Amino acid sequence: MTYVRIGLLVIVGALSLAAGAAKLMQVDQEVSFFLAAGLQPVWLLPLGALQVIGPALTLLGRTRRIGAGLTGLGFLVSTLVILANGNPGFAAISLIPVAIAFFLFATRPPGSEPARDARAEPPASP
């Protein structure tokens, strides 16, 4: 994994953990934000759990892609809530961690290509 990928993973993971912790603790600002969007505060718990579980899964190599996908999904839901509150500028900026998380989900780090089946035919020579 390149240093850039590790850096992106750390930044997006830290942002997601902080946002998820605020939702799980039901901080007054988060509760009022959800109420203003027309959502009940009970939805803070599943979204907060998603935003904490996603980065936790990125710590392990086997679940890193799933964790990045869950992290991106959590950020996307949060961005939609921001948009529902009538703040398109902040919603547009909030799409940056969504894009980074989905980039980490969709790409493989260098050197992590799946192993070829030894029984398969060798590639055709030119």
| Tokens read off for 126 | 């030119």
Position 73 in a domain = yes
pTM: 0.83
Q: Where are the alpha helices (DSSP H) in 42-87?
A: 44-57, 64-84
Q: Please state the rounded mean pLDDT for residues 70-79.
A: 96
Position 126 in a domain = no
Half-sphere exposure in the Cβ direction for 52 (13 Å, CA): 13
Position 36 in a domain = yes
Cα Rg, the chain, nearest whole Å: 18
Q: How many CB atoms lie within 10 A of CB 80?
A: 13
Tell me the residue range of the domain where 49 lies. Answer: 3-106
Position 113 in a domain = no
pLDDT confidence bin for 121, thresholds 50/70/90: low
Position 118 in a domain = no
Position 121 in a domain = no
Please report the pLDDT score of residue 37 as a whole number. Answer: 93
Encode pLDDT of 1-37 as tens digits.
Answer: 588 988 999 999 999 999 999 999 999 999 999 999 9
Number of domains observed in the structure of the chain: 1
Position 115 in a domain = no
Rounded to whole angstroms, what are the CA distances from 8 to 29, 66, 68, 100, 123?
Answer: 27, 16, 11, 7, 35
